[in-house]
Amino acid sequence: MKIPKNCIITGATDGIGKQTAIELAKLGYNIGLVGRSKEKTEIVLDQIASKSGNHSLKYFIADLSNIKTLDTLANNIRNEYESIDILINNAGAYFSQYIETKENIEKTFALNHLNYFQLTKLLMDIVKFDKPGRIINVASAAHSRAKLDIDDLQMKKGYKGWTAYSNSKLMNILFTYELHKRYQDTGITFNCLHPGFVDTSFGDNNIGLGRNILSLGKKIIAINVEEGARTNIYLASSNEVKNISGKYFYKSIPIKSSKVSYLPKYQEVLWSYSEKVISSLS
């Protein structure tokens, strides 16, 4: 009998995260949802069960921008799953204004990058080694518009919302490539992707021009969540990619990311700085 695979998805209560959970649940995967609101996550859990017929669903509540709480989240996941076959780091947001978390970390950097970095490291040892698992980081084509200053990764000197978001998506790719370099001997695969410009609630947490531009774009050119989730589902479930690692995908095809994303110096500086920020919290 085939043993169902365990899949953890962050940001799974909306958009492509939710759709990914639905489709993987239909395939028989055991799904662990990570959401911020208990009430909303419970509602989404019921919706996934209803649409998929799969009741092997669990949920975990965490504010992923609060980095110190990730230890508790990781422990809660460990208490429910002895191993993880797939970790999909999907949670993220755009913040038009500079905001610091309670830990004094710029919020885009904290949620969109540092959360990926720390949760991955905390769960790495329970990603199956006998049948190596997959770690998938949701990035974006927005990374090509990044203006990353490796001496000011949190943009404290002159914050611009879209630049910060683009920078964070470049960080997702830099992180993926560095993961592959450091851990390729484990057999775990590390890949990232651009899901496309998807019609979701992304950006609705903002006010003003940034939100208005996003809303207009969604009406004109955005794809639906079913299409936006396809590459996530492909990377999580397809045998075609079981031995492929360290790649950036779009429409389920590996493509080239921006030139700067391949620079070892940027990959290494980001990793070192991320470790330094996390160490400062303890």
Q: What is the pLDDT of residues 263-279, one digit of tens each?
A: 999 999 999 999 999 99
Residue 190 located in a structural domain: yes
Using CA atoms, how far apart are residues 112 and 114, in angstroms rounded to an integer? 6
Instruction: Over range 180-188, report the average pLDDT.
Output: 95
Residue 124 located in a structural domain: yes
* Single-letter amino acid code for the residue at 43: I
Say if residues 194 and 249 touch (Cβ distance below 8 Å): yes
> Token pair for residue 82?
């002895």
Which CATH number characterizes residue 10's domain?
A: 3.40.50.720
Residue 99 located in a structural domain: yes
With 0-12 / 13-18 / 19 or more C-beta atoms within 10 angstroms meaning exposed / middle / buried, residue 51 is middle
Using CA atoms, how far apart are residues 200 and 173, in angstroms rounded to an integer? 22
List the catalytic residues. 165
Look over the chain and give the mean of its residue pLDDT values, rounded to a whole number: 91
Distance of CA 56 to the CA centre of its chain: 22
Question: Is it the case that residue 41 has pLDDT exceeding 50?
Answer: yes
CA distances from 122 to 68, 125, 137 (A): 12, 7, 15
Question: What angle do the packed helices 15-26 and 230-237 form, to 10 degrees?
Answer: 40
Say if residues 144 and 250 touch (Cβ distance below 8 Å): no
Question: Is 0.75 topped by the overall pTM?
Answer: yes
Say if residues 100 and 107 touch (Cβ distance below 8 Å): yes
Give me the domain span that covers residue 197.
6-277
pLDDT score recorded for residue 34 = 98
CA distances from 117 to 67, 144, 196 (A): 10, 20, 23
Residue 1 located in a structural domain: no
Helix (H, G, I), strand (E, B) or coil at 133: coil
Higher model confidence: residue 209 or residue 125? 125
Using CA atoms, how far apart are residues 221 and 270, in angstroms rounded to an integer? 33
Residue 17 located in a structural domain: yes
> Token pair for residue 236?
């999580």
pLDDT score recorded for residue 4 = 74
Helix (H, G, I), strand (E, B) or coil at 12: coil
Question: Is it the case that residue 128 has pLDDT exceeding 60?
Answer: yes
> Token pair for residue 81?
């799953």
Number of domains in the chain: 1
Question: Is it the case that residue 52 has pLDDT exceeding 50?
Answer: yes
Question: Is it the case that residue 152 has pLDDT exceeding 90?
Answer: yes
Give the H or E element holding residue 250: strand 247-250
Residue 229 located in a structural domain: yes
CA distances from 111 to 103, 104, 168, 172 (A): 12, 13, 9, 11
Instruction: Over range 201-213, report the average pLDDT.
Output: 46
Beta strand segments in 44-174, E: 57-61, 86-89, 134-138
pLDDT score recorded for residue 253 = 97
Instruction: Over range 181-187, report the average pLDDT.
Output: 95
